[in-house]
Structure 1
Amino acid sequence: MDYGNVVTYGWGAHSTQNQVHRDLVADNDKIRYIYGFKRNDHVTEYRERLSGLTPESRAKLQSAVLIFKQLSNCSPEYLNRMFVRNGESSRYPDTRAFSFSAINFWNSISVEIRNSKSLVAFKNNLKHLLRSTQ
Structure 2
Amino acid sequence: MLYGCIACFLALVLSVPAMAQQSEDLNFASRLEQFQNIRRMLPSYLNGIGLRMLEERKRRVERLATIEDLYKRRAYLREQMLKDLGGFPDRTPLNARVVGVVERSEPASLLRACKPLSTERWASALPSDPLSLGP
Q: Which has the larger radius of gyration?
A: 2
Q: TM-score, normalised by structure 1?
A: 0.24
Q: TM-score, normalised by structure 2?
A: 0.24
Which is richer in helix? 1
Tell which has more relative contact order, 1 or 2 (C-alpha 8 A, sep 6+).
1
